[in-house]
Homo-oligomer: A and B are copies of this chain.
Amino acid sequence: MSARAEERFIASYLASLAEGFPGAFGLTDDCAEIAPLPGHAFVVKTDPVVEGVHFFADDAPEDLAWKALAVNVSDLAAKGARPVAYLMALTLPAQPEPKWMERFAAGLRQAQDAFGCVLIGGDTDCRPGPLSIAISVFGEVPAGRMVPRGGAVIGDHIYVSGALGGAALGLQLRLDPGRAAAWRLADGDRNQALQRYLRPEPKIGLRSSLQTYARTSMDISDGLLKDLDRMCRLTDVGANLELAALPLAGGVGAVLAADQSLGVQLITAGDDYEVLATVPPESAANFELTARRGGVSVRRIGHVVADAGTRLFDQSGTQIKLGPTGYDHFDVK
């Protein structure tokens, strides 16, 4: 593609996503200029999604685009930051068909409008290998007020937003649609699970409650237990969780009832992009109230304890045995 063709490509599919942001220079410059509001700072993050790891080659381009932005915005949401802008490095195995690019850009448009941010720059390249979308996001917080991952204190309540297990169930159904019948899933639950895998919903409505009341927060990308363990280890504490308290995505309860081990696997498998937070007990009521006002359901699922490690208990108080849990970035063979 010549320089002019490359410019036409950007102008045709991407430039409109930068409208209204002067520092993006209409995507005609190598760089963008961006500043936070006075007294504010940026929370920044990059998390690429790659074909064969985070999505399938034949997923709808609208969905890839949504997911690529959503997984990054999810981190901002967990930090109490307001999404502002993003850079995108798009690495393609071949020059895309116009129709594919139109649909991809339409998915980005839906996602950025939903999350309140704009594309301000990036890069497009072709090379042999899997499709990769590397987005870097910029969110805004009052300076020094990014909600940290580390700092959990013994006695803190542990909260999770939304519902767990839906993305992993969706992935299972994507890999083997026949399992929906085997698990006797209702059509609504099956469709919701598939949707949760394809279109995670960052919990941007939690901004105010996290900023004001949470001690620590992170998003769950690699699985509840693995991510909670990471959080707790930063202050040498542990966590006790109650299985019955965990909020379950549609269909996950049915699987759990039929096969507890498989159900727990779904719940802890990751990709749900919910928010995991610890809140001092005295702030719990206000945290729940402001979360509800922000349109996000949160559920207290356990509390922080002195014993290292994360334990899950059933309704009888018996500890559930856990295998290796969570998605590992390095598990590719």
Contacts and interface: CB of A to CB of B under 8 A. Distances in A.
A42 B48 contact: no
Interface residues of A, number: 79
Interface string A102-136: 00000000000000000011111111111010101
A44 B76 contact: no
Interface string A29-48: 11111111010111111111
A150 B30 CA distance: 11
B28 A32 contact: no
A326 interface: yes
Interface stretch (A140-148, A171-179, A198-206): A140-148
Contacts of A32: 43-45
Contacts of A324: 2
A35 B33 contact: no
A5 interface: yes
A50 B1 contact: no
A23 interface: yes
A43 B150 CA distance: 29
Copies of this chain assembled into the complex: 2
A28 B124 contact: no
A25 interface: yes
Contacts of A141: 33
Contacts of A53: 125, 127
Interface in A83-117: 87-89, 91, 94-95
Contacts of A82: none
A127 B332 contact: yes
A128 B148 CA distance: 33
A129 B38 CA distance: 43
Contacts of A7: 230, 233
B143 A35 contact: yes
A168 B15 CA distance: 31
Interface stretch (A218-226, A279-287, A314-322): A218-226
Contacts of A45: 30-32, 87, 121
Contact of A149 (B25, B50, B128, B222): B25
A187 interface: no
Nearest to A85: B44
Contact of A95 (B44, B132, B330): B330
Given A75-B31, A234-B28, A229 B52 contact: no
Contact of A87 (B30, B78, B120, B136): B136
Given A29-B150, A35-B42, A127-B332, 5 more contacts: A6-B329, A31-B79, A33-B41, A134-B134, A136-B136
Interface of A: 1-7, 23, 25, 28-36, 38, 40-48, 50, 52-53, 75-76, 78-79, 81, 87-89, 91, 94-95, 120-130, 132, 134, 136, 138, 141, 143-144, 146, 148-150, 218-219, 222, 226, 229-230, 233-234, 324, 326, 328-332
Q: Which 5 A-B pairs have the closest CB atoms?
A: A1-B330, A35-B41, A129-B129, A136-B136, A33-B146
